[in-house]
Structure 1
Amino acid sequence: MAASIGTVGDAYDNSLMESTIGLFKTELIKPRRPWKTLSEVELATAEWVDWYCHRRLHGEIGHTPPVEYETNYYRETAKHQVTVKI
């Protein structure tokens, strides 16, 4: 484990991580225990992260997966950029 990258005395990075870790434990770790090997946990974690980022429907962003929302955001942002030719 590595130390938090936040500065001492603030919790700007903790709340998001604690929420995500809570979901991870509730949705994956606890329901499927007992785990037999570390490799089994690692593979399941990789699959969960892939689902969480690429297929999970997120209500706050129009019930679209986060990666799709981000792609659409940058596509729209690029359309509205002004280019100047000199």
Structure 2
Amino acid sequence: MGSSADNAAAESFNAAFKRETLKGRKGWSSEHEARLDSFRWLTRCNTRRHSRFGQRSPIPYENALRAAATTLAQVP
């Protein structure tokens, strides 16, 4: 049986999502409102800078990783 410590990153993500989207409410008035709030939050989350990524947002950070992984060194 697992615990929340097993997936701390997911628990942290869920806590931040709830805290920043619900803002003290118990829920949304409709599914449409919930979807819009979720999309807005995810967009904001993916474009804000994170200290973990060297003050870059997740998208440029991941793009840099992909570019580094696919770049081959030239043979001298």
Report the TM-score, using the length of structure 2 for normalisation: 0.74
* Runs of 4+ off more than 3 Å: 8-12
Of all paired residues, the percent bearing the same amino acid is: 28
In 1, Cα distance between the equivalents of 2:2 and 2:51? Answer: 32
What is the identity, as a one-letter code, of the residue corresponding to 2:67?
R
Q: Could you tell me which residue of structure 2 aligns to residue 25 of structure 1?
A: 18
Q: Could you tell me which residue of structure 1 aligns to residue 28 of structure 2?
A: 35
Aligned residue for 1:41, secondary structure, equals helix
Q: Could you tell me which residue of structure 2 aligns to residue 5 of structure 1?
A: none
Bigger relative CO (Cα 8 Å, ≥ 6 apart): 2
Residue 38 (structure 1) shift: 2.1
In 2, Cα distance between the equivalents of 1:40 and 1:65? Answer: 26
Residue 42 (structure 1) shift: 1.2
Q: Could you tell me which residue of structure 1 aligns to residue 61 of structure 2?
A: 69
**Count of residues paired in the alignment:** 73
RMSD: 2.4
Report the TM-score, using the length of structure 1 for normalisation: 0.67
Answer 1 or 2: which has greater helix percent.
2
In 1, Cα distance between the equivalents of 2:21 and 2:2? Answer: 31
Residues 19-67 of structure 1 show CA distances to partners (whole Å, capped at 9, x for unaligned) of 0011011111125x363222101111012112212x0211111111111
Q: Could you tell me which residue of structure 2 aligns to residue 4 of structure 1?
A: none
